[in-house]
């Protein structure tokens, strides 16, 4: 048997000391993660129809969201639940994002879909259930597109940073970490949003960190307070589920905000951001395309 070699177990590329400054991930529409502005990603859990995603893009972009979210390939706990619209959903998301000058983020579930998703999305989301799917991490790292890496529901900070390390080792340093809550003993909320992870990660890594208060709580009325807490704690952005009619949503309705709720949250986010010397992108951004709305 070969002599066992002691391999370094620690992460090298994602650690804070690996860079002199912080990593800023910039998307093609100008959205930035990791500078003084707070990046707002918003949209439905799942893309359900052209009308649904376009109405949502219009509503959230006018409040300062620059990244449209929407799942086309959905990781559902039950195989009988809505699985997403797949390739059609990707096209709807892309068109809606373009129409309102937004970037698009969507989840990739399977290494075989990476090329297809990368064709339509500006940011590839690796979901909580896949944080340690190492073949998906390698394939996604190779795709060259920015990656939103969610924390696994039972992942430690070290495991999460090691997962990010896989992406950097593959040559992709455009990685955004997303705290989305961890599983706790208490079913009172869907997950336990670990806000302390934000300042902790800021000392451990140069990568930007955002907060997902929607999956982090599972309860729409808790989303606003936790979003504000995340920004106050130093998050570089937010990922918020918004739906035109949450009770009829195909997935995650109970944690989705209405357009009105999102609009009032964004006003509060702006105040908190300013209080700590940051800001959110200006509201009523002009659309980047000339297509009629
Ligand atoms: C989602 O963003 O819709 C999602 C499924 O998130 P998570 O992987 O955090 O559960
Ligand atoms: Mn969801």
Q: Which of 140, 147, 215 to mutate to test the pocket of ligand 1 (most atoms within 8 A of CB)?
A: 215
250 neighbors 82 (Cβ within 8 angstroms): yes
- Six-digit token pair at 207? 């990568």
Residue-level pLDDT at 290: 44
Question: Would you list the DSSP string of 225-272?
Answer: HHHHHHHHTT-SEEEEEB-SSGGG-SS-GGGPBPHHHHHHHHHHHHHH
Instruction: Report the predicted TM-score, pTM, of the whole model to 2 decimal places.
Output: 0.94
CB-CB contact of 135 with 111 (8 Å): yes
Distance between CA atoms of 209 and 159, rounded to whole angstroms? 15
Residue 168 in contact with residue 175, Cβ under 8 Å? yes
Answer whether 151 contacts ligand 1 (Cβ < 6 A): no
Residues of the chain with pLDDT under 50: 1, 285-293
Number of CB atoms found within 10 A of residue 43's CB: 32
Chain segment 99-120, per-residue pLDDT in tens: 999 999 999 999 999 999 999 9
* Length of the chain as a residue count: 293
Q: Which of 48, 129, 148, 150 to mutate to test the pocket of ligand 1 (most atoms within 8 A of CB)?
A: 150
Q: Kindly state if the Cβ of 150 falls inside 6 Å of ligand 1.
A: yes
Measure 71 CA to ligand 2 centroid, in angstroms.
8
Q: Which residues pair with 175 in a beta bridge?
A: 147
What pLDDT was estimated at residue 5? 57
Q: Whose CA is nearest to atom 1 of ligand 1?
A: 45
> Residue 283: its pLDDT value, please?
62
Rounded to 5 degrees, φ, ψ at 15 are -65, 150
Residue 274 CA: distances (Å) to CA of 37, 166, 230, 234, 269: 10, 35, 14, 12, 8
CA distances from 47 to 190, 195, 207 (A): 22, 28, 28
Non-local CB neighbours of 144 within 8 Å, separated by 6+ positions: 118, 171, 172
Is the minimum distance from the CB of 180 to ligand 1 under 6 angstroms?
yes
């Amino acid at each position: 048997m070969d002599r066992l070699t002691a391999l370094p177990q620690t992460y090298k590329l994602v650690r804070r000391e690996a860079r002199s400054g912080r990593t800023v991930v910039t998307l093609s529409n100008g959205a930035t993660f990791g500078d003084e502005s707070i990046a707002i990603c918003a949209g439905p859990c799942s893309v359900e129809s052209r009308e649904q995603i376009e109405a949502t893009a219009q509503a959230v972009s006018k409040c300062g969201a620059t990244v449209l979210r929407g799942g086309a390939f959905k990781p559902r706990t039950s195989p009988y639940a809505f699985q997403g619209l797949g390739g059609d959903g990707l096209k709807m998301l892309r068109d809606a994002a373009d129409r309102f000058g937004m970037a698009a983020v969507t989840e990739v579930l399977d290494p075989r879909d990476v090329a297809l998703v990368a064709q339509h999305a500006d940011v590839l989301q690796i979901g909580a259930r896949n944080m340690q799917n190492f073949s998906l991490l390698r394939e996604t790292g190779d795709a060259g597109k920015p990656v939103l890496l969610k924390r696994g529901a039972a992942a430690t900070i070290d495991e999460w940073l090691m997962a990010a390390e896989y992406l950097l080792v593959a040559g992709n340093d455009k990685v955004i970490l997303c705290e989305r809550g961890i599983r706790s003993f208490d079913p009172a909320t869907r997950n336990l949003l670990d806000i302390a992870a934000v300042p902790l990660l800021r000392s451990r890594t140069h990568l930007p960190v955002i907060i997902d208060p929607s999956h982090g709580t599972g309860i729409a009325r808790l989303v606003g307070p936790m979003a504000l807490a995340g920004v106050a704690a130093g998050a570089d952005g937010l990922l918020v589920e918004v739906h035109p009619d949450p009770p009829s949503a195909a997935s995650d309705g109970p944690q989705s905000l209405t357009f009105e709720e999102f609009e009032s949250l964004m006003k509060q986010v702006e105040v908190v951001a300013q209080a700590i010397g940051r800001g959110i992108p200006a509201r009523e951004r002009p659309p980047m395309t000339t297509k009629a709305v």
